[in-house]
Protein backbone atom coordinates (compact mmCIF):
# COMPACT_ATOMS: atom_id res chain seq x y z
CA UNK A 1 0.00 0.00 0.00
CA UNK A 2 1.23 3.48 -0.85
CA UNK A 3 1.63 5.60 2.30
CA UNK A 4 -0.31 8.86 2.55
CA UNK A 5 2.86 10.97 2.65
CA UNK A 6 3.88 9.41 -0.69
CA UNK A 7 0.64 10.28 -2.51
CA UNK A 8 0.59 13.34 -4.71
CA UNK A 9 -2.60 15.26 -3.98
CA UNK A 10 -2.34 18.86 -5.19
CA UNK A 11 -2.87 19.98 -8.76
CA UNK A 12 0.19 22.22 -8.42
CA UNK A 13 2.39 19.19 -7.70
CA UNK A 14 0.91 17.32 -10.66
CA UNK A 15 1.40 20.31 -12.97
CA UNK A 16 4.97 20.90 -11.84
CA UNK A 17 5.93 17.26 -12.32
CA UNK A 18 4.29 16.94 -15.75
CA UNK A 19 5.67 20.23 -17.07
CA UNK A 20 9.16 20.12 -15.56
CA UNK A 21 9.79 16.39 -15.36
CA UNK A 22 11.61 13.99 -17.60
CA UNK A 23 9.08 11.97 -19.62
CA UNK A 24 9.08 8.46 -21.03
CA UNK A 25 6.19 6.60 -22.58
CA UNK A 26 5.47 2.97 -23.21
CA UNK A 27 2.45 1.15 -24.63
CA UNK A 28 0.49 1.23 -21.37
CA UNK A 29 1.87 4.15 -19.35
CA UNK A 30 3.68 7.47 -19.57
CA UNK A 31 5.88 8.45 -16.64
CA UNK A 32 6.91 11.97 -15.68
CA UNK A 33 9.65 12.21 -13.04
CA UNK A 34 11.20 15.25 -11.41
CA UNK A 35 13.86 15.47 -8.68
CA UNK A 36 12.94 17.27 -5.49
CA UNK A 37 14.84 18.17 -2.34
CA UNK A 38 16.62 15.14 -0.96
CA UNK A 39 14.87 15.42 2.42
CA UNK A 40 11.33 15.53 0.96
CA UNK A 41 9.50 12.19 0.78
CA UNK A 42 8.95 10.91 -2.74
CA UNK A 43 5.42 11.39 -4.05
CA UNK A 44 3.56 9.52 -6.75
CA UNK A 45 0.40 10.62 -8.54
CA UNK A 46 -1.81 8.85 -11.06
CA UNK A 47 -3.78 10.12 -14.04
CA UNK A 48 -6.36 7.59 -15.19
CA UNK A 49 -8.85 9.23 -17.54
CA UNK A 50 -12.23 8.07 -18.79
CA UNK A 51 -10.52 6.95 -22.00
CA UNK A 52 -9.36 3.91 -20.01
CA UNK A 53 -12.90 2.66 -19.48
CA UNK A 54 -15.68 2.71 -16.92
CA UNK A 55 -15.13 3.37 -13.20
CA UNK A 56 -14.48 -0.28 -12.39
CA UNK A 57 -11.78 -0.54 -15.06
CA UNK A 58 -10.19 2.78 -14.11
CA UNK A 59 -10.02 1.79 -10.45
CA UNK A 60 -8.52 -1.59 -11.32
CA UNK A 61 -5.81 0.07 -13.41
CA UNK A 62 -5.14 2.62 -10.68
CA UNK A 63 -4.85 -0.07 -7.98
CA UNK A 64 -2.42 -2.06 -10.12
CA UNK A 65 -0.28 0.99 -10.87
CA UNK A 66 -0.30 2.03 -7.22
CA UNK A 67 0.97 -1.41 -6.21
CA UNK A 68 3.71 -1.26 -8.84
CA UNK A 69 4.71 2.22 -7.64
CA UNK A 70 5.28 0.99 -4.08
CA UNK A 71 8.56 -0.50 -5.29
CA UNK A 72 9.66 2.92 -6.56
CA UNK A 73 9.06 4.43 -3.14
CA UNK A 74 11.03 1.61 -1.50
CA UNK A 75 14.00 2.23 -3.82
CA UNK A 76 13.69 6.04 -3.73
CA UNK A 77 12.09 7.06 -0.41
CA UNK A 78 13.17 10.69 -0.79
CA UNK A 79 13.78 13.22 -3.53
CA UNK A 80 11.62 12.03 -6.46
CA UNK A 81 8.14 12.98 -7.67
CA UNK A 82 6.45 10.73 -10.23
CA UNK A 83 3.24 11.13 -12.22
CA UNK A 84 1.96 8.01 -13.94
CA UNK A 85 -0.46 8.55 -16.83
CA UNK A 86 -2.32 5.40 -17.81
CA UNK A 87 -2.95 4.98 -21.53
CA UNK A 88 -6.07 3.26 -22.95
CA UNK A 89 -4.11 0.06 -23.66
CA UNK A 90 -3.54 -0.38 -19.92
CA UNK A 91 -7.18 -1.46 -19.47
CA UNK A 92 -6.51 -4.71 -21.33
CA UNK A 93 -2.90 -5.16 -20.18
CA UNK A 94 -1.87 -8.03 -17.96
CA UNK A 95 -0.12 -7.50 -14.63
CA UNK A 96 3.21 -8.49 -16.17
CA UNK A 97 2.83 -6.04 -19.05
CA UNK A 98 2.06 -3.17 -16.68
CA UNK A 99 5.01 -4.00 -14.44
CA UNK A 100 7.33 -4.31 -17.42
CA UNK A 101 6.21 -1.00 -18.99
CA UNK A 102 6.41 0.88 -15.69
CA UNK A 103 9.86 -0.46 -14.80
CA UNK A 104 11.32 0.16 -18.25
CA UNK A 105 9.90 3.68 -18.39
CA UNK A 106 11.15 4.47 -14.89
CA UNK A 107 14.67 3.18 -15.55
CA UNK A 108 14.81 5.25 -18.76
CA UNK A 109 13.58 8.36 -16.94
CA UNK A 110 15.94 7.70 -14.04
CA UNK A 111 18.92 7.70 -16.39
CA UNK A 112 17.59 10.93 -17.94
CA UNK A 113 17.45 12.53 -14.48
CA UNK A 114 21.03 11.46 -13.80
CA UNK A 115 22.19 12.91 -17.12
CA UNK A 116 20.41 16.23 -16.55
CA UNK A 117 21.71 16.47 -12.97
CA UNK A 118 25.29 15.87 -14.08
CA UNK A 119 24.83 18.31 -16.96
CA UNK A 120 23.80 21.12 -14.61
CA UNK A 121 26.57 20.33 -12.15
CA UNK A 122 29.34 20.60 -14.73
For 25-55, what is each residue's pLDDT tens digit?
Answer: 999 999 999 998 889 999 999 999 999 999 9
**What stretches of 5-118 adopt beta strand conformation (E)?**
22-25, 29-35, 43-47, 80-86
Q: What are phi and psi of 10, to 5 degrees?
A: -95, 145
**Residue 111 pLDDT level (bands cut at 50, 70, 90):** confident
CA atoms lying within 13 Å on the CB side of residue 86: 30
Instruction: Report in angstroms the alpha-carbon separations of 34 from 3, 43, 100, 103.
Output: 19, 10, 21, 16
Give the distance between the most distant pair of CA atoms in the chain. Answer: 49
**Residue 116 pLDDT level (bands cut at 50, 70, 90):** low
Segment 89-114 mean pLDDT: 92
Separation between Cα atoms, residue 48 and residue 29, nearest integer Å: 10
Under 8 Å CB-to-CB from 82, ≥6 apart: which residues? 17, 31, 32, 33, 42, 43, 44, 45, 69, 72, 106
Dump pLDDT digits (tens) for 58-80: 999 999 999 999 999 999 999 99
**Residue 115 pLDDT level (bands cut at 50, 70, 90):** low
- Report the chain's terminal Cα–Cα distance, integer Å: 39
Better-scored residue on pLDDT, 110 or 100: 100
Report the chain's mean pLDDT, rounded to a whole number. Answer: 91
pTM of the model: 0.88
**Residue 121 pLDDT level (bands cut at 50, 70, 90):** very low
pLDDT over 80 at 23, yes or no: yes
Separation between Cα atoms, residue 76 and residue 38, nearest integer Å: 10
Amino acid sequence: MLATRNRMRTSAAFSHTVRSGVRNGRRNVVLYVVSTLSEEPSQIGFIVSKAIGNAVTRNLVKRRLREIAVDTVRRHPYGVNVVVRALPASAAASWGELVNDYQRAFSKVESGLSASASGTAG
